[in-house]
Structure formats: structure tokens, C-alpha cells
Structure 1
Amino acid sequence: MVDSETQDVVAPKPESLLGMRHLMALIMFLATTVSYATRVSMSVGIVAMTSNNSYGYPVFDWSRTTQDTVLSSFFWGYILLQVPAGYIAGRFGGKYLMLISMGVTGVVNLILPIAAVKGDYMAVCGCRIIMGVSQGLLYPSLHGVIGQWVPITERSRLGTFIYAGAQLGTIIELLTSGLLSASSWGWPSVFYVAGALCLIWSAMWLIIGDSAPASSRWISKKERKYIEMNAGSSELGHGRAATPWGSILTSLPFWSILLAHCGQNLGFWTLLTELPSYMKYVLKVDIKQNGMLSALPYVAMYVLSFFFSWFAEFLVNRKIIRLVTSRKIFNTIAHWGPAVALLGLSYLPPGNLTLAVVILTITVGLNGAHYVGFMLSHIDLSPNHASTMMGFTNGIGAVFSILAPLSVSFVVKDESSAMDWRKVFFISVAFYFLTNLFYLLFISADVQDWNDAKPSKAVEDAEKSEEKNPEKTKNNVGEHKF
């Protein structure tokens, strides 16, 4: 295997401070921002949809179980296409999968309010399932594009910048959803705004976005060479390499990423989907304050994620610690830090609003370190197959995202009982602790031997055909594009 921790730069860095890779990172950052805003819209929107309003908008008499079913329905669809999306993105690139993902999400958001009025919660669940299916294409594709566009020495910083958009989207949605719901535009405007933003992003991505530097018409030759020589990917990464499933599924480092992803999803989505309800029923905060206070922990996560990424990159690039040590340290901060904070929260006396918000802010804020922990480990192990691995771990992890709100419905019998919520927090603590322990024991930051797997038989046959008919195919070499 290739030791990525001692790998030297083999192509000169472009003199320009900002290049096409930075513009791509910005657009991908906006993708995670907008996509997460659409996911979170229901967390606050459902509170408004089930509360009386002064403007005559429909109010739905949904039980707690029905509400949790609506909240979890996104993930029923989300898990379906993760692995196929990762495979397709790995073979052909992620540009058009990302376009489909965001475009469909935008359209579904625009029709959701009408669907709710016409078909009640079943229609809303249907919309959220379709939205989940479409967004299931996004992260595997995104991970593959990052693996092709981002050099190793910039991966912690740019990777965190891109994925931290999820927290900014959460912050924006939690802040604006409550305000929009309480305004004369009512709760439907929450979904209309989110849908419009998705469609705007889709138009921008169609014009500028590309799966890899080789297929971009906007990038300079110098920057393209720099990226391709320093990203750890190869020509086999798009449309040529057979997926080494046996090697992946028998790799302990891969399993450590998978378990860390599952622990992260259960803990994070328990808080994300249920925090507005916890604020309302336990801390007695109204809908407008709900959005503001619920957003505060994600502001902390957003800000701290940049500090963690800068610090991680500083430590590794200055050779103070090895890359694998950095991954372990920051993943531990992301998992065990929140576990300790949640233990404190679970024993907090009811009604102590200020201290509860402080602990929740610490809990979610420390979780921002996972962007330079397991989240980038797929690319460390195999830039060429990062999208496939991300599809697999994100798909399995999504099962635990489904379990998050459903476990609350099963455990919490009295929504105003701090004792019932304590049980929910204990479950998250256990998953955070155990999954990170496995990650610490078995993770690696070295590029694996199977990253440069042999081409599939179909590709080998095509190459033989090219050798016999060079004039027919010479213009397509290196320019495969999905």
C-alpha cells in the first residue's frame, strides 16, 4: 500500500491562491448547505404544521407517533440508492447524479405543502421518501468528486469546508423556519424557499460542475496536473476500475469507518430531529425561540469544524503527528466529547434552560471534529473507490438515522419527562463510545493496495479493441465523461 502520510508533492502548486478546485469546493459546499436545509425543514416545520396559527393555514392533528413517522420517512428512501449511487459515481463520475439529486429535491419541496393538504401525513411521507431517494445520490457522488478534485495536503481543510455546509444549512433552516412559520407566509413558505434554492443550485452546477479535473473545461492545465498528481487518484478511478468488493468488505479499516458512521448518525440525528420537540415539551420554548435556540448548537459545530480542520491540517503538514493519529484524535473528540456532554445533560434538573442549551451546544459543537475524522477516511484508504465506500457506509448509517426518531417514539412515553429523555441520551452515549473504540483500534490512513484495482474485463476488451483501431478511439482517451 502507499504511505499517504509521507507522500511528497510531485507536481508544483499553481501560483494563484484560488483555482478551479476552490470554486468546485464552494459549489459543493453550497450543495451540502442547501440539501441539509431541505432535510431539516421538516424538523421545525412539523411543529408549526401541528400548532395553531393566526393566518388560517391548515393545522394537522398528528400524534407523536405520526410525527416521528413523518420525520423518519426521509431515511426510508435515503438508504435505497446509496450503494448503486456510489458504484455509478465511481465508474462514471458524480456530476449528473448530483444534478438529479438536487433537482428532484427542489421539485418535491415545492409540491409538499399541496400534498400535505390533499393527502395528509401519508402524502407528506411519500414526498419525504422521494426526497430521501434523490438525496441518497448526493453524498456518494460528492465523496467521489472530492477524491478527484482535492489534493491530499488540502483534504482536511477543503473537505471540512464542503461538509460543514450541512451545519450551515441546519443553522439557516432552524433560524428561518420558525420565523417563516410564524409569519403571514405560514409553514408552506418553509418548503417553497428550500425548493427554490435547490433548483437555483442545480442550474449553477450544470454550467460549472464536473466529475474530475480531466473533464472540466474551466481548469488550467497547470492546476489540473497539480491536482491529478497529488490527489492519490488514478486514471482507473473513472469508468475503468473493477470495484474490489472482496478487498473492501474484508478490510478492518473499512469496517471501522462503517461503525463510526453508524454511531455518528444515531447520535447526531437523534438530536437533530428531536431537538425542536425537546425544546418545546421539556424546556417550554415557543416556536420562534425554538428555531433560534435549536440553531445555536449547530452554529458551534459549524465554527468549531473549521478550527478542527485547520488544526488537523497544521499538525499533519508540519509533521507533528501522523495522518492516522490526527484521524483518531479528532474522531475521538467528535464521538466521546458529545458522549460525556450527553451524560451531563441526562442528569440536568428539568427547567434549567440556560445550562441545557450550553450542554447541547457543547455536545453538537464537539461533533464537528468528525469531518477530519472518519468522514475523510474513505478517501484516505482509496480515492478511486471513495464514492463506492461512502455509498455503502452512508446507506447502512442511514438505517440508524431512521432508528433515531423511531427510538424516541418507542422510549419516550411522556414528552415532558426528563427521565424518559435520559434513556434516549444513554442510547446515543453507548453508540458514540463503542463505535469510536473500534475506529481507534483498526483505522488506517494509508492508501490501500486495492485502490488501483485491475480494470474490469469489459474495459480490458475495450482497450484491446482500441489497440486494433487507434484512430477510432484516440479522441476519447482520458476524456470519459458521464
Structure 2
Amino acid sequence: MSTVIEKDKETVETSNSDTYGLGVRHLQCALLGIIVITIAGMRNILNVAVIAMVSDSPPNENIPTYPNWASKKNLMLSSFFWGYVVFQVLAGELAKKYGPKLLLGVSIFINSIFLLLLPYFGAQFGYLGVIACRVIQGLTQGPLQPCCHNLLSKWVPRQERARMGNFVYSGAPLGVLIALPTAGAISSSSVGWPVVFYLYGSIGILWTILWFVFGSESPSVSKMISEEEKRYIQKSTSVHEEKTVPTPWKAIFTSAPVYAILICHCGQNWGYFTMITETPSYMDKILDFNLASNSALSALPYLAQWIVSHLLSPIADLLILRQVVSVGSSRKLMNSIGTLVPAVALISLMFLGSDQPALTLVIIVIAVGVNGGTYCGFNINHMDISPTHAGTLMGIGNTIGNSQKQLWNIVFVTTGIVYVITGVMYILLGSGEEQPWNKLEDRDELPFQDRKTNSTLAEIKTKE
């Protein structure tokens, strides 16, 4: 028995077959989800470990600490993003042209090696050694999201994108949730802060091995996938796997839906990274929590974000599947929840004092938690408007969105305003429909008008 569902000019054939259950597409998403969790930890463990790193009273005399680095803390933290923005767009193009498997695997392996080396580089070359490792980590983590978008656009049917895309990308707050208390507990224990970097570096190398064994570029080249599941996936994706499609740069940069995503991406990154970078220090300096409590409580908002995103993602897919709203409207609804509610919460912080730590923490949890709605909004919208170029579009967004990290310490009120503006702009400009410039053959059939006869190409062909 089968059902045909038509929505947003796209027909998706579904059936009550076993392909609805667990399949190879779920294995690929599981691998991507695991590395997103790991990478989020790798990126953020220094936020907590640096407190122990610059302490003048380590829990064990054998643990190296560098109190004279205290003034360099923000420099070490921000140096990651010097490298992170460099290869974003290029990674999207390389993934589209040559496939994302090798690019992603090699990048994560190099990233893991330099995470293992970070304590050694710090001991040998001072804080500049730490910065060097962080820059290289930024360079090698840059390809992650463009590669993930490229893979998801090939592996995930449109009617599953909110759930599967959220499963992968919500690994970021889950990774923070795990990393912050883990880093805090290890850094404040007798084993010392270097062990945090050894742990995550080892996990990254193990994942690389699993990726090269079980990862796959696409359903068409997978040796594990069944023909039934392959047909089910390919019926509702429109990625050109047979040929390399040139990137329509002019069409991309004159597309309102693209700008909707870019604007919201910038706002999201500004708010998210301000929160994730400043929350541990805010709780330490303003709310007066110690390191162990700090790391655990700093992770609480990201537990809320992970939970909220998993509550909203099936709703987003169900709204589309039941034809309640279009794809674009579903993305806008979830994105609005994820930006406007946190905006109100963040702005309200200006009315609270340091003598209200419990209420402050509740508001931070709400702000970060409800922000999980964006995982079902702009964050997967690239795959709707252009499955073929989704990786490149994510690369463009990450490049622009991560080039403003020096502004992270802007007050919470400004962050709230940015959420409002970007959320509204996404509502006005966003779309859930595949754009005509996604396919080369579609671009050849775009409306053409002869200047002399004032006739369209279709009318000229009819006359002939």
C-alpha cells in the first residue's frame, strides 16, 4: 500500500514498507551525530579547562599551570575562529565535486591529533603554542558542517529532514552538555586539565576509523543499502550525483531566500557563541559559582536546548507530512520560536541583579533551550532551497556568521535584539521551495524574453 503526498511542488511517494524503519541512512546520520557531539566538546572544553590552566593553586603539584596566561584567556579562546572561517566555502565546493567522505575523515583526524598535542605545545611554546593548536583545530573543523549538509541532502528524504537534520545538529548542545561538566570534573581533580584534551583527541581518532569503515558518500555508492531504501531516498531528493553541477554564484547572491538564511545564521552564531563563551565566566564572576558547580550549571541550558529541539523537530516534519503548512512555513514557524522567545528572555536579564542567581539561571536556560527551534528552521533550509548546493550554502553562512566573534562580549540585550531582527527577516525572505537555480537544466529553462519581438523563449518555440 502506498500514498502519494504532494507539497511544495514536489511529489514524494511513501509506503508502509520496512524502509521506514532503521536503515543505512540512519547509520550515516548516527555517525554524523556522534562527530558533531564530539566536535562540540573539542571546541568548548578549553572554555572550562582554561580556568584550571591559569590557576595558581592546582589540585596536584604535578599538574602544570600557567597563571601568567590569565590575561591571554580570551585570545586563546577566540583563536579557534581565526582558522574556522577560512575553508568553509571551499569545503562545500570540494565536498560537492569530490565527495565529503575523505575530506571529513582527514579533517577530523588532523583535528584530533592537534587536540592531543595541545598540552605539549603549551608546555613547550607557551600560550602561543595553545593558540597554534586552536587555529589548526579551527581550520580542520571548518569542513564539518558543509560536509554534513552535503551528506544529509543526499541521504535524507525531504519529509524526514527536520528530524534527521535535528538529530545530527542537535549534537552540538548535547556535546556541550557532556563536555562542560566533564571538563570541569577532570580539570578540578587530581588527574588535571591535560587529560581532558587526551580524552577528546582519542575519541576523535576512534571516530575517524569508524567513519572510513562505515561512512558513505551517498546512497548510490553505498554497498550496504538495500535497493528499496535507495529508491525511497532518491524519490524525494534532487541532488545531481551523476554529474558535477557548476555553482550558480550570481543566482545564489541575488536570491532572497539565501539572504534570509545568511542573515539568520549571523544572528544565531552571534547569540549562540556569546552565550556559550561567556556563560561559564558569567556564572563564575557574577553568580559566584565554583568551577565544579559552574561547569555543571553552565551545561544545563544545553540540555534544555537538546530536549526542546527533539520536541519540535517531529512537529515540524508532521506539519509538512500532513500538509498543514508548506515546507517554508514550517521552517519559519520553528525559526521564529527559536529566535523570538530567546530574545525576550535575554532582554529581560537587564532587569535582574546579581542577587537573583536562581532566576537568572532559569532565564538563561529558557533563552538557550528554546533556541533549539532554529535546528528545524534556517539551519536545514539550505537543503530545501538547493539540495545540490547545500554544502556550499552552509559554507557561505558559516564563513559570514563566524567572522564576527570579536563581538561575543556584547551585552545580552544586544544579542536579544539581533535575534528579533534576524528572526523577522527570515520570516519575510525565507522559502521552503527548491529554487530554480538549483538544477542546471532548470536554469536553461528560465523565462527568456527576446528584446526585439518581446516574446518569451516558450512563445518563440511555439511559433517555430
**Partner SS, residue 10 of structure 1:** strand
Q: 1:289 pairs with 265, 271, 293, which one?
A: 293
- Report the equivalent of 2:430: 443
Q: What's the % identity of the aligned pairs?
A: 37
Match status 1:101 vs 2:107: yes
Distance 2:37 2:233 in 1: 25
Distance 2:214 2:17 in 1: 20
Distance 2:221 2:127 in 1: 44
- Report the equivalent of 1:91: 97
Question: Pairwise CA RMSD of aligned residues?
Answer: 1.7
Amino acid aligned to 1:433: V
Deviation, 1:377, is 0.8
**Residue-by-residue CA offset, 1:385-436 (whole Å, 9 max, x unaligned):** 0001111111111112x2244xx2xxxxxxxxxxxxxx61122122111122
Amino acid aligned to 1:348: L
Contact 2:85–2:399, Cα closer than 8 Å, also in 1: yes
Q: 2:336 pairs with 332, 338, 345, which one?
A: 332
Unaligned runs of 5+ in 1: 409-422, 457-482
Change (3 A) 1:257 1:344: same
Distance 2:134 2:17 in 1: 44
Q: 2:10 pairs with 4, 7, 10, which one?
A: 7
**Residue-by-residue CA offset, 1:57-82 (whole Å, 9 max, x unaligned):** 22223566521111111111000000
Q: Whose RCO is larger (CA < 8 A, sep 6+)?
A: 1
Give structure 1 regions of 4+ aligned residues with deviation exceeding 6 angstroms.
none
Contact 1:4–1:446, Cα closer than 8 Å, also in 2: no
Change (3 A) 1:99 1:4: farther
**Residue-by-residue CA offset, 1:80-119 (whole Å, 9 max, x unaligned):** 0001001111112211111012111110110001111111
Distance 2:406 2:331 in 1: 27
Change (3 A) 1:4 1:188: farther
- Report the equivalent of 2:454: none
Distance 2:354 2:123 in 1: 37
Distance 2:382 2:101 in 1: 19
**Residue-by-residue CA offset, 1:293-337 (whole Å, 9 max, x unaligned):** 001000000011000101111222111222211111111111111
Distance 1:165 1:14 in 2: 29
Q: 1:30 pairs with 27, 34, 37, which one?
A: 34
Contact 1:47–1:277, Cα closer than 8 Å, also in 2: no
Change (3 A) 1:447 1:62: farther
Distance 1:88 1:36 in 2: 23
Contact 1:102–1:199, Cα closer than 8 Å, also in 2: yes
- Report the equivalent of 2:394: 390
Deviation, 1:10, is 3.5
- Report the equivalent of 1:167: 173
Distance 1:175 1:306 in 2: 22
Distance 1:455 1:83 in 2: 24
- Report the equivalent of 1:350: 354
Contact 1:11–1:225, Cα closer than 8 Å, also in 2: no
Match status 1:309 vs 2:313: yes
**Partner SS, residue 390 of structure 1:** helix
Distance 1:23 1:296 in 2: 28
Change (3 A) 1:9 1:69: same
Distance 1:260 1:11 in 2: 32
Q: 2:129 pairs with 118, 123, 129, which one?
A: 123
Distance 1:278 1:63 in 2: 19
Contact 1:83–1:391, Cα closer than 8 Å, also in 2: yes
**Partner SS, residue 383 of structure 1:** coil
- Report the equivalent of 1:426: 413
**Partner SS, residue 199 of structure 2:** helix
- Report the equivalent of 1:476: none
Contact 1:14–1:223, Cα closer than 8 Å, also in 2: no
Change (3 A) 1:325 1:151: same
Contact 2:304–2:369, Cα closer than 8 Å, also in 1: yes
- Report the equivalent of 2:456: none
- Report the equivalent of 1:474: none
Amino acid aligned to 1:21: R
Contact 1:156–1:376, Cα closer than 8 Å, also in 2: yes
Contact 1:75–1:398, Cα closer than 8 Å, also in 2: yes
Query: 1 or 2, which has the higher helix percentage?
Result: 1
**Partner SS, residue 235 of structure 1:** coil
Change (3 A) 1:64 1:455: farther
Contact 1:37–1:194, Cα closer than 8 Å, also in 2: yes
Q: 2:322 pairs with 315, 318, 321, which one?
A: 318
Match status 1:182 vs 2:211: no
Q: Which moved more, 1:326-335 or 1:75-84?
A: 326-335
- Report the equivalent of 1:55: 60
Distance 1:142 1:378 in 2: 12
Amino acid aligned to 1:449: P
Amino acid aligned to 2:415: S
- Report the equivalent of 2:156: 150
